[in-house]
Amino acid sequence: MLRNERHVPSNQPPPPDPTDRRYGTDAATIRATRPLPEQADVVVVGAGIMGLALAWELSRLGPRRIVVIERSYLCSGASGRNGGGVRAQWSSETNVRLMKESIEICRSFATRMRINVWFRQGGYLFLARDESMVRTLEASVQLQRAHGLPTRLIDAAECKAIVPQLDTTRIIAGSYNPRDGVVFPWPFVWGYARACRRSGVEVHPFTEVTAIDTQGRRVTGVTTTRGRVRAPLVVLATGAWTPQLARTVGLELPNRPHRHEICSTESLAPFLRPLVADLSTGLYVSQSMRGELVGGISNPDVPEGLDTRSSMRFLGLYARALVRTMPVLAGVRVLRQWAGCYDVTPDGAPIVGRVDELDGLVLCCGFVGHGFMMAPVVGRKLARHLVLGEERELFELWNLRRYREGRWLGESMILG
Ligand SMILES: Cc1cc2nc3c(=O)[nH]c(=O)nc-3n(C[C@H](O)[C@H](O)[C@H](O)COP(=O)(O)OP(=O)(O)OC[C@H]3O[C@@H](n4cnc5c(N)ncnc54)[C@H](O)[C@@H]3O)c2cc1C
């Protein structure tokens, strides 16, 4: 509805305008404003980056009633808590190919969605400290180059030329793709949410799906804290919460939530162009356009669970690894630390596609620590798969049934 079309009684304040920029995103994201519809063509559960990207792409494929249901505020899940890293440096053909396309979508996102997402292509620099890591990087560089990417295997001196602050005494080699980059995750989520609303998708925050409704072997809709929505197609884009929700229909999933911590420092004058990553420790750090260093590290002691608390142990691990990599950062102050949940699968690859056991149920989860960068391309391909039947091969590869069939996938460049 356009603002000047709305009838407002003169003695009452106007209802919030969903396109009003004063709310940073829009009023409807800060409270549940409208009743739920009784019927939809598709219900997407979860308004993280995956759910919103999928809903928007579905809306572009023809008229249908699409409803996105989110139990909290937008950005409350991993999509509002991540490092914003976007890269095509992967070791598996699938990930390289998909991320090449995703980066292209990121490049035009701001113009198409009319929102600044602070996308900066400063590259990713992976460091190798031992021979086995060099071999991993070597193989993946070869694969990426075969896909037309400009990634190069470089020696320690060239690593230092790209980031002069590096201590390269124990670094043997690195791999560098200048087209990788970082985004600011929040406006990316808001951009999709706004585009969804502009194209008629209903996004309902603060509404929890408490059950997936079924009749025999068919999904019939969802029950929520604000009523029921009937729909023949229900997509679970619920990140680390997916196993919990799937269990309500007796579906046991192999992915598990694991806390992943991250922090940002005070602002420094711009000095760090690429995101620097070290696969041996899981350390990654980039400099935001406001000058803060944003980064994290693997913490092998974290037990599985939906836990988003911060810890001193993380700060110690991160600080030691960061200062070992760039000693000049020893005196930098951390201003903020937070945590989110990785949605970890046994083989590090996502679980996306239709579920054999229940007609009409679709999973879109298991993106470990790299789902944000994949959402633009996965949203697009999954929408085309569901509506047009395209991309069968990809969603066969990523289907849940691969675990039953013993078809595990591999990826050796996972951070965190
Ligand atoms: C600290 C950290 C750093 C990361 N860094 C990167 C990075 O640099 N690059 C990258 O690509 N990825 C990164 N990731 C991973 C990335 O954030 C995730 O893979 C991605 O955001 C997953 O998106 P999603 O939409 O699937 O899940 P989420 O963003 O978690 O969204 C799921 C949504 O579902 C909602 N929900 C759950 N249950 C229900 C229910 N019953 N009813 C209704 N709604 C429900 C939740 O509230 C949530 O909003 C990082 C993650 C973390 C935690």
Q: Cα–Cα distance between 294 and 285 in angstroms, integer? A: 6
Q: Cα–Cα distance between 361 and 382 in angstroms, integer? A: 13
Under-70 pLDDT residues of the chain: 1-31
Token digits for 351? 């679980």
Q: What is the CATH number of the domain that holds 165?
A: 3.30.9.10
Residues 67 and 96 in one domain: yes
Residue 59's nearest CA partner among 67, 50, 69, 71 is 67
Residue 41's nearest CA partner among 235, 238, 245 is 235
Number of domains comprising the chain: 2
Residues 223 and 116 in one domain: yes
Mutate to test the pocket of ligand 1, among 43, 204, 238 (most ligand atoms within 8 A of CB): 238
Give the pLDDT of residue 31. Answer: 67
Residues 114 and 36 in one domain: yes
* Whole-prediction pTM: 0.93
Residues 366 and 335 in one domain: no
Residues 131 and 245 in one domain: no
Residues 87 and 210 in one domain: yes
* DSSP annotation of 108: H
Residues 278 and 260 in one domain: yes
Give the pLDDT of residue 300. Answer: 84
Give the pLDDT of residue 30. Answer: 58
Give the pLDDT of residue 8. Answer: 31
Give the pLDDT of residue 63. Answer: 85
- Rounded to the nearest angstrom, the distance between the alpha carbon of 154 and the centre of ligand 1 is 33
For 264, phi then psi, to 5°, come to -135, 150
Give the pLDDT of residue 29. Answer: 54
- Rounded to the nearest angstrom, the distance between the alpha carbon of 79 and the centre of ligand 1 is 4
Give the pLDDT of residue 301. Answer: 85
Residues 209 and 108 in one domain: yes
DSSP string, 253-311: ---EEEEEEEEEEEE--S---SEEEETTTTEEEEE-TTSEEEEE---TTPPBSS-----
* DSSP annotation of 22: G
Residues 151 and 202 in one domain: no
Is 8 inside a domain boundary? no
> What is the CB neighbour count within 10 angstroms for residue 235?
29
Q: What is the CATH number of the domain that holds 92?
A: 3.50.50.60
Taken as a whole, the chain contains a residue count of 416
What's the burial of 409, exposed, middle or buried (CB within 10 Å: 0-12/13-18/19+)?
middle
Could you list the residue range(s) of the whole structural domain that residue 172 is in? 121-181+256-344
Shortest-distance atom of ligand 1 to CA 367: 19
Residues 115 and 131 in one domain: no
Residues with CB under 6 A from ligand 1: 45-51, 69-72, 76-79, 81-85, 208-209, 237-241, 245, 260, 262, 296, 340-342, 367, 369-373
Protein residue with its CA nearest to atom 50 in ligand 1: 82
Residues 267 and 139 in one domain: yes
For 138, phi then psi, to 5°, come to -60, -50
Residues 48 and 175 in one domain: no
- Rounded to the nearest angstrom, the distance between the alpha carbon of 172 and the centre of ligand 1 is 34
- Rounded to the nearest angstrom, the distance between the alpha carbon of 117 and the centre of ligand 1 is 17
